[in-house]
Structure 1
C-alpha cells in the first residue's frame, strides 16, 4: 500500500529538514521518498491543517495492570490506548500482581505484545516482590529483555538496597529508575501541602518528602557512579538539584509528567479524585517553574504515568480513592495546551521520543528514506474533544472527559 503524507512539518531536532514542510512516501511500511513535493499516485493521502511528523513517540512510564488487575486495564486495551495517544513504544512499570520480578514475567510481556504495532519495553523490579528488602534477579531479567529496573511508586527507603542496586547494575550498564518519596514523613498524605490542603482539610504532602529523597539518591549515585533516573519528580527544587548533579558529571536523568506540567493543586478544589496523583500536583507557582525548567532543557523526559483505575477504586471519598490518572490518550493535548508555541516543538517532542530511548539504550528511529516507518503524525492546529466513547483505555479515571484541548494525534506508523 502506498501512502503519501502531504506537507507535514518535520519535528526532529536531529533532522536536516527539521521545521520544514515535506511530503513523505510510505510503501508497504517503508519510507521510500522524502521531498518538498511528491506527485506519485498513491492509495491514500494524509493531510491536515498544522500537520506535523516526528519519530514515533515513547512513553517512559505506564501501568497496564496486566497481570493481576485486568478489569482496570489489560495489555490489549493498554496498547490500543497507547497507539491512540500517539505512542509507538511504551515502557511498562512492574507494579503488576504478581510484579515483573523475574525473567518469566518479562518474557510473558514480550511474548504477548510481539505481534502488536506498539513496542513494549519491560521494566523489571529492583526488589523481589517490590517489597524493598532484597534485590530481584535483575541480570536474568536484563538478559530476557528488561531495559531498566524500578519498584515504581514503592520508593526504596532502605539506602543499602538502592546502593546495592546501583552497584550491581553497573556490571551490565543498566539504569535504575527510582521514585523519590519519603512516605514516612507524612503517612497517608493525600495532596500537596499548601493552600488547598488547608482549605479542603486534607493531609498534605510537603515537597521536602521528595527533595530529601532526591538528595539521598544523588549522594548514593555519586558514591557508586551508577546510572540513575529519578521520576516522576514534582518539585522545581528537585529538578534544579538533579540538573546541578548532571553538570557535575553524574549519570543522572529525570522525568516529570504531563499532568504536573499542565495542572496544579487548584484542580482539587472540588475534591475531584481524578486529579489525585502521586507525586501530588503542586502549587501554580511550582507548575510555572517546571515549565521554565522544561524549556531550559533540565527535564529529560515527560511521561504519561498512565495509571488506570476502575470506578470501584476511584469514585470514593477522597481519602479512600487510589492515586492515579488514566492519561496515555490525553497526553499530547494536555501537554501542548499547557506549553504550546512557547517552546521549540522539536525540543518538546524529544522529551517523549528521543530521550526515553536514549536513557533505556533503545534504538532511536529516524525519518529517512529506506527505513521502516516509525512515525507519529499529529496536528498542532486541530483540537481534541475527549469523549469516553472514543477512548480505548478501560480506565474510569480520565480527567479530561468533556474538555476541548489544543493539538490532536492523527496516526502512527510502526
Structure 2
C-alpha cells in the first residue's frame, strides 16, 4: 500500500469538514451545559473510634465483634421507620414533591455510607475494626453535616443500649439458669438421699461388709448348733438321772451309827433273856440305845434334806438348760432371718448400683453445668458493671461531621473536558 499524499488528506478533510463542525458545535455545548447545570452534591463524614476496654478481661459474655455490631446498627438505622424519622426531622427532599415516601427512603439509604476501617496489617477475614466512618451526601451542604452527626449520635446510643441490654439480658438469663440448675440439683440430691435411705442395707458401698457378715453369721450359727447339741445332751442326761432315781434317793447302806444301834439292840435282847430290867447292864444298854436312836434319827433327817436339795438343784439345772436351749433357738432364728436379709440385699445390690450411678451421673452433670453457669454469671455481672462504668469496649467520636466547604460532585471541569475531547 502506497503512502498517502497531501492532496488526498486535504481532500478527505474537505469532504468531512461540515461533519466535524456539526459534531464540535453540538456535543461540546451539550457537555458544557451538562457540567454547568448538574446539581451539586455535598458530602460530610464523621469518624468513630472503637476504644478497647480500660480493664482487660480474660473472659467476657459480650463477644459480638465490632464489625458485626456495626452491621447490626447500620441495619437498624437504615430500617424504614428510622429513615422516616430522619426525613421528618430534617425535612429531607421536602423540595421534591414528586418523590414518594419509598423513593425518599431509598435515596437516604443510597446517600448514607458506613465504612469500617480495620487496623493496620489486619486480615480482612478477622473482622477486626479500629474505627469507622459515617457519611451522608445531599444537595444541601448544611444538611449533610447535621444528618451525619445525627447518625453518629444514634450509632453511639444504639451501641450503648445494645451492649447494656445484652449485658443485663445475659446476666438475667444466667441467673435464671443458675436458679433452675440449683433447683434441679436439690431435686436430684433429695432423690439420692431418699434412695439411699430406702435401700440403706443394700447400697454398693456396704457390699464388702455384708459379704463378710454372711461368713460371720454362718460361722456363728454353726458354733451355736454345736453348743446346742452339747446342752441338749446334758439336759437329756439330767432328766434320765432324775427319772431313774439316781438323784434325790437315800442310799441303802447302813451308817456306822445304825450298825452300832443294831448291835446294841441285839445285845439288849440277849441280856433281857437272862437279866432283869433293873439290872445295871440292861439299864446301861437302854441308855446307849436311846442315845444312838437320837443320833440315827438326826442322820436320817439330814440325808432326807440332802436328797431334796439334790433334786431341787437338778431341776434348777434342767430349767436353766432349757432356757439356754430356747435362747439358742431364738438366736438361731434371728440369725437365719438376718442371713436371709443379707443374701437378698447382696442379690439386689447390682441393680441398685446401676440406678444409683445413673442418679450420681445426673448429679455430676448438673453440678458441672451449674458451676459453668455460675462462672459465666460472674463474668456477666462484671460486664454489666463495666458497662455501667463505661469501662468496656465503646465507640468514641474522634471527628464529628463538619459542613462541607464545597461540593464533592459533579466534577464540572472533567465533564466539560471530556465532552470537548470526545466530540
> Does the alignment reach a TM-score above 0.5?
no
TM class, shorter-chain normalised? Answer: under 0.3
Length-normalised TM-score, structure 2: 0.18
Higher helix share: 2
Q: Normalized per residue, which structure has more strand?
A: 1
Whichever of the two has the greater Rg, that structure is 2
TM-score, length of structure 1 as denominator length: 0.18
